[in-house]
Amino acid sequence: MAKEKTLEQIAYEKLKSLILSGEYQTGMHLKETALVSELQMSRTPIRRALGRLVSEGLLSHNNFHGTTVTYTHFTLHEIINMIEIQWCFAVFCVEKSQRKHTPFNVKLLREMTASMEKAYNGDDAYNYHRALTEFYKTFLLNSQNNLIIEMLDNLWKRFTEEASSSNVFNVRKNRIPHTLDLYNSLIDRVEKSEFDKATEILTQLKEEAFMDLMF
């Protein structure tokens, strides 16, 4: 039997949906009194829901200005830039592994692709994109450069929210099994130290991601 949602969870999901849909726009101030009336519930679950959204970066809070929407939608240009940056750093990791003989965490990468496949089979857009960004985070750990991870981490979080709330997953759904095959092939190539082939697969993934943006 499915567990009944708490008022906090209901408030959280409703508020998050309003933010991601753009109904609550960036810079908008959210007042608890107005939300109590709008959501028809008490302050406590609303306050807890707002706290969760602050921790996720969709809202900000300070004692002078209250709670403000900080989430901004990805533009096409930003997505292209993110894919380009991600590709550059991934290729850098392959080249560094070749020079320094540092192995990739193949076990963890396979766990990430398994999570992607599970989410795909369950029609779970959010967890699919979260596993996808975790795959790249794991892959880029081989750079041994925390600055790279930190720089991309905020973009990855925003991308996960954006892609999960939009039609991206449904548009790409028929091509996801092919994409998963490419990721698994990439893991095989780095495990066997076939670095040139790994770079070719990364380039193919980048180009196919760009193609998906055209639809």
Round to whole Å and give the CA distance between 31 and 5: 23
Q: Look at residue 31 and tell me whether its pLDDT is greater than 60.
A: yes
Read off the pLDDT band of 1 (50, 70, 90).
very low
Whether the model clears a pTM of 0.75, i.e. scores above it, the answer is: no
pLDDT at residue 4 in the model: 81
CA contacts within 13 A on the Cβ side of 192:
10
Comparison of pLDDT for 75 and 125, the residue scoring more: 125
Q: Which residues contact 116 (CB under 8 A, 6 or more apart)?
A: 128, 131, 132, 135, 180, 183
Round to whole Å and give the CA distance between 142 and 206: 19
Round to whole Å and give the CA distance between 164 and 153: 17
Q: What is the pLDDT of residues 172-213, one digit of tens each?
A: 888 999 999 999 999 999 999 999 999 999 999 999 988 877
pLDDT at residue 172 in the model: 80
CATH 1.10.8.100 fits 7-69, yes or no: no
Read off the pLDDT band of 215 (50, 70, 90).
low
C-alpha angle 16/18/21, rounded to 5°? Answer: 105
Q: In what order do the strands lie in the sheet with 66-69?
A: 29-30, 66-69, 59-62
Q: Which residue carries 């969709």 as its tokens?
A: 58
Query: What average pLDDT does the structure give for the chain?
Result: 88
CATH 1.20.120.530 fits 76-212, yes or no: yes
Domain boundaries of the chain, sorted by first residue:
7-69, 76-212
pLDDT at residue 80 in the model: 85
Evaluate whether 84 touches 151 at the Cβ level (below 8 Å): no
- Of all residues in the chain, the percent with pLDDT exceeding 90 is 55
Q: Look at residue 153 and tell me whether its pLDDT is greater than 90.
A: no
pLDDT at residue 150 in the model: 85
